[in-house]
Amino acid sequence: MGATPTEMPIPVDWYLYLSAALFIVGAAGVLIRRNLFVVLFSLELMLNAVNINLVGFSRFHENLVGQNFVLFVMAIAAAEAAIGLAIATALFRNRQTLMVDLFDRMKG
């Protein structure tokens, strides 16, 4: 272990690979999965991939802007989840299903 406090023990590009992988998994989930709840999970996954990026870069640049940003992203992710669940409840009451590809009343 030769890591001094200012040096990153894990290089920043590893965080990038991890977050890129998570982001792609999330994006694919949003585009492919049919169940609304799984789509919501996937959206959260995308936001958390961003958080990993921000924290990694924050350490890399040795400033706290990225960590600051993460707090806002977390709060907004919670708000988005709450709205998503509320919309899901309203839809389920009216349609008794949560399969997104069945919601096609409007076309053209």
Nearest one of 81, 95, 87, 99 to 35, comparing CA atoms: 99
CB of 14 to other proteins, least distance (A): 8
Residues binding other proteins: number (CB under 8 A): 60
Widest pairwise Cα distance in the chain:
63
CB of 5 to other proteins, least distance (A): 13
Distance CA 107, CA 42 (A): 26
Lookup: tokens for 37: 């709840």
Nearest one of 46, 15, 11, 12 to 28, comparing CA atoms: 46
5 lines the binding site for other proteins (CB under 8 A): no
Residues interacting with other proteins, by CB under 8 A?
1-3, 9-12, 14, 16, 19, 23, 26-27, 30, 36, 39, 43, 46-47, 49-50, 53-54, 56-57, 60-61, 63, 65-66, 68-69, 71-76, 78-87, 89-91, 93-95, 100, 103-106, 108
